[in-house]
Structure 1
């Protein structure tokens, strides 16, 4: 890699790592150490092909998704999240309530299967269309839809506290990204 490409890669890592780490944390079920490993491996792979990459962020995100899919296909034993870290900068009752909901959501996401978590992260955090999620995960759109439905139902059963986000009589369901579960 020449000096110009090295500088370009360094700038990319410096500017986009926080956002990519948030995605990796969500994909790894809240395990920050696993997320850092996931991101580091993705960046190493991207560095090797840096001069041939047209859209670096999309390329690195695709590596993240595929590596995580490979991990859960290997059926590694899930590690339990030992403690929940309170978010930084929480102030007042509203912030405390939001922090509490983030912790609840984080715990509930960790209890989902890796596939369910990946589908929810891609659909709601990354805001990708169903077809793109299906392409990234190597399954059909119908599988994405059914997995999303089952994952949201399980998330609601694991964390009934999230129902208080609904309006009094609206019947609206909370959107998972409204809670901003991870703060890097």
Structure 2
């Protein structure tokens, strides 16, 4: 096994789960996320010696691949048949898990680019500039998508909280 291959295997072993999570949060489907990660890693392997920051390249490639996967005609056709979300699961008694599920569901209602911006900014901890570079867009676009995305999340989660309190009172 060459040094290049050994380095790549080590990188994949260390980052695979976090890249899958990033892809899932970007597209909202585990199968699509897996496809996006594998496609991004295949591209990274081909360019391994030419890429300076493997982590940044992989993160950017995964987000772009996840967004591209959701734009494919077959994916839209598959998604158009099931407009209704499944019944929400009963809370498992752990507030943190319940909150994570609510936020993930709210994120799935956002457009892919807004979702990608929020995931990169707040879950991956990237700056506005790093997010702009990852998505190849101006920093102003990142700021606008951040503002719109957070506003939409507040509206979705706020409406949900209001409905929850109305039924308990």
Where on the TM-score scale, by shorter chain, does this alignment land: which range?
0.7 to 0.9
Give the structure 1 partner of residue 135 of structure 2. Answer: 137
Matched, 1:12 2:22: no
TM-score (normalised: structure 1): 0.71
Highest relative contact order (Cα 8 Å, sep 6+), 1 or 2? 1
- Structure 2 counterpart of 1:151, from 145, 149, 152: 149
How is 1:26-175 mapped onto 2 (pairs within 5 angstroms)?
Answer: 26-29=25-28, 31-71=29-69, 77=76, 79=79, 93=93, 96-160=94-158
3-state SS of the aligned residue for 2:143? helix
The unaligned stretches of length 5 or more in structure 2 are 163-169
3-state SS of the aligned residue for 2:49? helix
Please give the alpha-carbon distance, in whole angstroms, between the structure 2 residues aligned to 1:116 and 1:11. 32
Using the TM superposition, give the Cα deviation of residue 142 of structure 1 relative to its aligned residue in structure 2, in angstroms. Answer: 2.1
Please give the alpha-carbon distance, in whole angstroms, between the structure 2 residues aligned to 1:140 and 1:73. 22
Q: Deviating runs (4+, > 4 A) in structure 1? A: 71-76, 80-86, 161-164
The CA RMSD over aligned residues, in Å, is: 2.9
Using the TM superposition, give the Cα deviation of residue 109 of structure 1 relative to its aligned residue in structure 2, in angstroms. Answer: 0.6
Please give the alpha-carbon distance, in whole angstroms, between the structure 2 residues aligned to 1:110 and 1:34. 14
Give the structure 1 partner of residue 23 of structure 2. Answer: 24
Please give the alpha-carbon distance, in whole angstroms, between the structure 2 residues aligned to 1:7 and 1:17. 15
The unaligned stretches of length 5 or more in structure 1 are 165-184
3-state SS of the aligned residue for 2:137? coil
Distance 1:51 1:145, change over 3 A: closer
Please give the alpha-carbon distance, in whole angstroms, between the structure 1 residues aligned to 2:95 and 2:113. 29
Matched pairs, number: 156
Please give the alpha-carbon distance, in whole angstroms, between the structure 1 residues aligned to 2:129 and 2:16. 26
Please give the alpha-carbon distance, in whole angstroms, between the structure 2 residues aligned to 1:57 and 1:163. 37
Distance 1:74 1:6, change over 3 A: same
Spell out, residue by residue over 1:95-152, the C-alpha distance to the aligned partner (whole angstroms, 9 max, x if none): x111111111111111111011011011111111112222322332222212211111
Give the structure 2 partner of residue 177 of structure 1. Answer: none
